[in-house]
Amino acid sequence: MAAERLARLVARVRSGEELPRGYAYGSRPLREEILKEFPAGNDPRVVITRNRYGAVILNTAHALFLDIDFPPPTVGGGLRRLFGKKDDPAAAPLAELRATLERLGEASFRLYRTAAGLRALAVDREFTPDAPDTQRLMEAAKVDPAFRQLCRVQQSFRARLSPKPWRCTYIVPPTDFPRESAEDQQVFADWLEGYDLACAGWATCRSLESVGDGEALPALEAVVRLHDGLTRCLDELPLA
């Protein structure tokens, strides 16, 4: 893949085009530190990684996660909050997501609240990231298009397990992975110690309800336990 990208960049330069700027989320597999694999070996079904801003990520081969961001607030909603009438931003998106999942009837799901949206995890059916029915379901649930693209490219689904650093008043890692020098490794170790302390009073999501009455598959039940334990979704903690 690196050789192909280099060839494309060389072609752009030779044709007089500008080099691409920034990082196109979802355009290629992410380069992340692998923390653990389940099962260990050549074909893991679950891989836990650490992303570029230090959060722990659950990557799954067939356990479908749907992450839905809340829509931006309207002028009317902002005025109501200004004058003390606070709407629950999750109420309408939750009702819409519930109705969509019930209407499609693709699987049974567990639903969660995140700091800025909702999350759904399929529990009684496995999915393939680039399959047409998977993509239709993700589109119907209004999953971010860049996230859908990333799932296709990586051939896996993703869910963040630990807080975003800035939401728990902490900084992002001062060094990038891979950290090859002893100095960078020590700097990151110091950052990680502080990050773990900063995360202590926060949860990543909160368990809400279930949709559908299908019986959970044993393999997916294990993913649910792993996800729920590491996100602390059953604890009464603020979300980050």
Instruction: State pLDDT tens for residues 157-176.
Output: 999 999 999 999 999 999 99
**What pLDDT was estimated at residue 5?**
75
42 vs 110: which has the higher pLDDT: 110
**What pLDDT was estimated at residue 29?**
67
Nearest to 184, CA basis, from 172, 196, 175: 175
pLDDT class of 30 with cuts at 50, 70, 90 = confident
pLDDT class of 4 with cuts at 50, 70, 90 = confident
**What pLDDT was estimated at residue 10?**
79
Residue 119 near residue 109 (C-beta atoms within 8 A): no
Residue 96: partners with Cβ closer than 8 Å, 6 or more residues away: 142
Query: Side chain identity at 168, as an amino acid letter?
Result: C
The mean pLDDT value for 26-55 works out to 84
pLDDT tens column, 173-219: 999 999 999 999 999 999 999 999 999 999 999 999 999 999 999 99
Residue 232 near residue 239 (C-beta atoms within 8 A): no
**What pLDDT was estimated at residue 43?**
72
**What pLDDT was estimated at residue 124?**
96
Stretch among 7-16, 142-151, 180-189 having the lowest mean pLDDT: 7-16
Nearest to 65, CA basis, from 116, 122, 115: 122
pLDDT exceeds cutoff 90 at 126: yes
Burial class (CB in 10 A: 0-12, 13-18, 19+), 225: exposed
Computed over every residue of the chain, the mean pLDDT equals 89
User: Considering the chain, what percentage of its residues have pLDDT values greater than 70?
Assistant: 86
pLDDT exceeds cutoff 60 at 90: yes
Stretch among 6-15, 77-86, 177-186 having the lowest mean pLDDT: 77-86
pLDDT exceeds cutoff 50 at 22: no
DSSP class of residue 236 equals -
